[in-house]
Chains A and B, each alone.
Chain A
C-alpha cells in the first residue's frame, strides 16, 4: 500500500482548492477519496503528482468546480421547490379566504372580516414576498430586476392599503396613492422601456400598461362614492325653507298675541319674546359652533360645515358653557309650560344625537308647538 506523506496531503489540498472547491467539507471528502484511490492503487506509483491528477480527473467532466456547483444546486433547489410549494399554498389560501370573506360579507354572516383580514395578510406578507424571492432565483437581468423589486413593493402596498381602508386604519389612502401612482408613474414606464427592446413584446406591453392605468382609474372612480356637493347642501336648503315658514308663523302669532292688550296678553307676549330670543341664541350658537366662526351669524360659513355630522359633541351636557344656550331655551320653555314641562324635557333629550340640519327644524318645531300652547292657554 502506498503511504502518503503530510507534504503530499498539503499539496493535494492546495490543488483541490486551486481548482475551485471552496467548501471545506467537500474539499475534505474529495481529498480522502483521492487518498483512498492512491493507497489502494494496484499499479505502482512512479510519479505521485501525475497519479494524483489522473485520479482527480475522474471526479469531473470539464472542471473540478462542477462538483461544488452541483452540490450547491442540489441543496438550493430543494429549498426552491419547498418555497414554490409554500408560495402556491399561501396564494391559494389567501385568495380563497378573500373570496369567502367577501361572500360572508355580502350575506351578513359572522366572521367575514377575519377571513378578509387573513386573506389579505397571507397574500401581501407571504405570497407576494415568496413570489419575489422565487422569481429572483431565476436571475432576472438589469431592468427586469428593478421591475420585479418595484412591482413587489407596489403590490404589497396596494394589498395593505385595501386592508387598511376596510379596517379604517390610518394611512390607507397614502398607501393606496403610493401603489397606484407608483404603478402608473414608475412601474408602467419602466415596463414599457424594458418591453420595447424586443419587437414581439411591444403590443403586449402597451396593452398591459393601458390595463394598469385603466384599473387605477376604475379604482379611483370606485372610491368617489361620497355624497355629491349639491346633495350635501340640500339639507340646508330644507332648513332655509323651514326657517322661512317658521318666521311667517311667528309673524302671525306676534300679530294675534299683540292684539291682546290685557295683563295676561302682555305676560304671554313677554314669554313669547323670551322663547324667541333663546331659540335664536341657541340656533346662532349652533351655527357658530358648527361653522367654527366667532361673532355674528353667517349663512355662507354655515354651508361649509357638514349637515350630516352629529351634534352630540357640540351640545355636551357636561360642559355647562357649551350647553348654556340650551339651558336658556329650556328655561324659556318652562316659562310657557309652567309645571306642565314634559315637552321641555323631551326637547332637551331629543336634541342630542341628531343631524345638524335636523336640529334647527326641531328647535323651530318646539318653538311653534310652544307658541300654539301659549295662544290656546287661558
Chain B
C-alpha cells in the first residue's frame, strides 16, 4: 500500500502511518456522522495543521475495502452529473474504531517505554 503522507513542517514516513489510516478514518467518521472522500482529507489536514495530508491513492482503496468488510456504510448524493459518496460508520465499524484506538494507544505507550522517550520534553516543530 503506497500511503504517502506529505508534511510541510515534518515528514512522516509512509511506514509510520501505514497502519493508522483505518484508525484515522474510523475515528473521524465516528465524530462527524458522515463525510465524503475530499472532506476527510481536508479534515485531517486541518486537524493536524497540515502535518498529515492523506493521499487519494491510499484513501480510496482503503475506504472501498472498509465498505466491503462492512465497517462503513455509504449513501450517494447526486450533484448534477457528479455522484458523491458519503461514508459513515456501521455498528461493526464503531466497535472496530474503539478497538483500533485502544490498540494504537497501547502501542504508543509501548513504544515510549521501548525507546525510553519522555513525551513532555519532546518538542514537535
Chain A residues near B (Cβ < 8 Å): 6, 9-10, 23, 25-26, 28-33, 35-37, 58-61, 66-67, 70-71, 73-75, 78
Tell me the count of chain B residues lying within 8 A, CB to CB, of chain A: 25
Instruction: Specify the chain A residue showing the minimal Cβ separation from B53.
Output: A58
Those of B60-77 within 8 Å (CB) of chain A: 60-65, 68-69
- Please encode chain B, from 67 to 94, with 1 for each CB lying within 8 Å of some chain A CB and 0 for all others: 0110000000001111111000000000
Q: When chains A and B are docked, how far (Å) is the Cα of A32 from the Cα of B85? A: 9
Contact B2 A75 (CB under 8 A): no
B64 to chain A, nearest CB (A): 5
Contact B85 A29 (CB under 8 A): yes
Chain B residues contacting A59 (CB-CB under 8 Å) are 55-57
Q: When chains A and B are docked, how far (Å) is the Cα of A23 from the Cα of B83? A: 14
A19 to chain B, nearest CB (A): 13
Q: When chains A and B are docked, how far (Å) is the Cα of A154 from the Cα of B63? A: 42
Tally of contacts, chain A with chain B, CB under 8 A: 75
Chain A residues contacting B2 (CB-CB under 8 Å) are 61, 66, 70
Chain B residues contacting A66 (CB-CB under 8 Å) are 2, 57
Any chain A CB within 8 A of the CB of B38?
yes
Chain B residues contacting A70 (CB-CB under 8 Å) are 1-2, 57-58, 61
Q: When chains A and B are docked, how far (Å) is the Cα of A26 from the Cα of B65? A: 11
Chain A residues contacting B64 (CB-CB under 8 Å) are 23, 25-26, 29, 71, 74-75
Q: When chains A and B are docked, how far (Å) is the Cα of A28 from the Cα of B38? A: 12
A90 to chain B, nearest CB (A): 22
Instruction: Specify the chain A residue showing the minimal Cβ separation from B36.
Output: A32
Chain A residues contacting B57 (CB-CB under 8 Å) are 59-61, 66-67, 70
Q: When chains A and B are docked, how far (Å) is the Cα of A326 from the Cα of B18? A: 91
Closest 8 CB pairs between A and B?
A: A74-B65, A36-B38, A71-B61, A70-B61, A28-B83, A59-B56, A9-B81, A71-B64
A25-B85, A33-B37, A78-B65 given; name 9 further pairs at CB < 8 Å: A26-B64, A29-B37, A32-B36, A32-B85, A33-B38, A59-B56, A70-B58, A71-B61, A78-B69
A52 to chain B, nearest CB (A): 14
